[in-house]
């Protein structure tokens, strides 16, 4: 019993603690520490430091609670909005779609202004890390429209070998679908499309619409990949991120989700 009473509280690396509480990456947490914005028990924090539940951690002179309440949202981002806290020109930010009480949440990855679909937001930095770091390989599913039909050879190049886009080869799976039945009444779900055989070609109608399944997350990767082969992406809509699916969530709306 005495040994149990004398045990020290479990320690946690400071950058991991800050990442989880502030919704930033561990690298960003280290940058906050280096910038002198973090203190522990009134003293300037140091890189590599550890804390326990008895320590008082402050960021910008505000106490960071040791126990945190994490939130997770799924948002259907419309075209024309940016995934940042500041507006870019005339483009609005996704935070204008959310109540003020959720403005502290950070987007998990991004979609560019001209893209739409599923965005996750959270204040749980560890969750964000596991959803976005390449080693965890979370599949993301997109509905893509091109300005012209994709040549079968180009589809095979992307799916089987990858296409050089300046920061390495880009490779992802492509499922060809058709315009038929894709009117205002809605499109087939990502789940049903994934059940199709990758590379299957429909026999009716122009094949200008595709499903892309991607496990990476480089900046504008899908657009740059098709552009490298002479195509322009005219629509990019994300329907799935890891285990999370957009489902019937309406454009501009959000729901609370479980991690």
Which residues are catalytic, by number?
Answer: 112
Side by side, the strands of the sheet bearing 43-44 are 43-44, 38-40, 57-59, 62-63
Sequence-distant (6+) residues with CB within 8 A of 123 are 21, 22, 23, 68, 70, 71, 104, 105, 106
Q: Is the dihedral of CA 53, 59, 63, 66 positive or negative?
A: negative
User: E strand or H helix at 191, and its extent?
Assistant: helix 190-194
Q: Is the dihedral of CA 135, 45, 8, 68 positive or negative?
A: negative
Sequence-distant (6+) residues with CB within 8 A of 150 are 174, 176, 207, 208, 210, 226, 231
CA distances to 30, 37, 45, 50 from 62, rounded to whole Å, are 17, 10, 14, 19
CA distances to 14, 91, 101, 251 from 104, rounded to whole Å, are 20, 20, 7, 21
Within 10 angstroms of residue 34's Cβ, the number of other Cβ atoms is: 12
Q: Is the CB of residue 120 less than 8 Å from the CB of residue 246?
A: no
């Amino acid at each position: 019993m005495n040994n149990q009473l004398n045990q020290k509280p479990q320690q946690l690396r400071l950058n991991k603690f800050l990442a989880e509480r502030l919704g930033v990456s561990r690298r960003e947490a280290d940058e906050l520490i280096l910038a002198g914005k973090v203190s522990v028990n009134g003293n300037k924090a140091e890189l590599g430091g550890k804390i326990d539940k008895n320590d008082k951690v402050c960021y910008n002179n505000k106490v960071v609670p040791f126990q945190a309440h994490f939130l997770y949202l799924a948002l259907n981002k419309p075209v024309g909005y940016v995934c940042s806290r500041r507006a870019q020109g005339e483009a609005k930010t996704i935070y204008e779609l959310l109540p003020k009480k959720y403005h502290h949440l950070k987007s998990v990855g991004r979609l560019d202004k001209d893209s739409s679909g599923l965005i996750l937001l959270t204040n749980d930095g560890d969750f964000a890390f596991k959803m976005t770091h390449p080693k965890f390989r979370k599949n993301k599913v997109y509905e893509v429209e091109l300005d012209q039909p994709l040549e079968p050879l180009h589809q095979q190049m992307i799916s089987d070998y990858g296409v050089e886009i300046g920061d390495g080869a880009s490779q992802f799976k492509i499922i060809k679908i058709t315009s038929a039945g894709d009117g205002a009444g809605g499109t087939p779900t990502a789940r049903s499309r994934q059940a199709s055989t990758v590379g299957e070609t429909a026999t009716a109608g122009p094949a200008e619409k595709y499903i892309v399944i991607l496990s990476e997350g480089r900046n504008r990767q899908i657009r740059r990949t098709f552009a490298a082969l002479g195509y322009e992406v005219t629509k990019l809509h994300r329907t799935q991120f890891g285990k999370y699916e957009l489902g019937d969530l309406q454009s501009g709306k959000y729901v609370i989700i479980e991690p």
